[in-house]
């Protein structure tokens, strides 16, 4: 059985203020990741705060990507990527990979995984993935990925970075 959402008359006609919605989403802390791939077109990567576990069997995770992303179409064509969970000291790196014009890889420490994905140095944990499916959701695409490998580093005792109220901080 499938359930389809049917908006009520009130919600179907209501227009939410975009700034209010952004601020309300910002009140909820989210982890910060950098999604990376080494493709035929070179290294690509972008900062992503919408990341979550989906399933243990099969091992799946999900990221949410803006439809306007210039990096994700390259990753989609490649089919494989890594999700790098950032540590609290990675704020500048998160900002660098969020910018459209920056050379994201200049000065960035990384290494290849056994699957060929770029793994960010000192990430708390990294996941090697391949695309499992995509779901179009408004101005974003939810990408569900099969986890091929997990890398818990010696830095796992560091606090992961979170984003809340338009600022980066660590979890204590």
Q: What DSSP character marks residue 104?
A: T
Q: Torsion over CA of 38, 148, 75 and 50, rounded to 10 degrees?
A: -120
Sheet holding 167-170, edge to edge: 30-31, 161-164, 167-170
pLDDT tens digits in sequence order for the chain, 172 residues long: 455 565 555 555 468 888 888 787 777 777 899 999 999 989 999 999 899 999 999 999 999 999 999 999 999 999 999 999 999 889 999 999 998 876 899 999 999 999 999 999 989 999 999 999 999 999 999 999 999 999 987 756 677 777 667 667 676 6
What structural domains and CATH numbers belong to the chain? Answer: 32-170 (2.30.110.10)
Token pair of 112 as six digits: 């290849």
């Amino acid at each position: 059985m499938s359930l389809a959402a049917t908006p009520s008359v009130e919600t179907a006609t209501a227009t939410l203020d975009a700034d209010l919605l952004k601020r309300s989403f910002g009140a909820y802390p989210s982890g910060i990741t950098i999604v990376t791939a080494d493709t035929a077109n070179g290294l690509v990567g972008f900062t992503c705060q919408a990341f979550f576990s989906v399933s243990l069997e099969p091992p799946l995770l999900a990221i949410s990507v803006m439809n306007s992303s210039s990096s994700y179409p390259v990753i989609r064509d490649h089919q494989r990527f890594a999700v790098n969970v950032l540590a609290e000291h990675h704020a500048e790196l998160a900002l660098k990979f969020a910018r459209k014009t920056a050379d994201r890889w200049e000065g960035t420490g990384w290494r290849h995984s056994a699957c060929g994905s770029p793994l960010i140095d000192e990430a708390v944990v990294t996941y090697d993935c391949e695309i499992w499916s995509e779901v179009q959701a408004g101005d974003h695409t939810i990408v569900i990925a099969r986890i091929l490998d997990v890398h818990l580093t010696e830095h796992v005792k560091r606090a992961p970075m979170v984003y809340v109220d338009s600022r980066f901080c660590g979890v204590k």
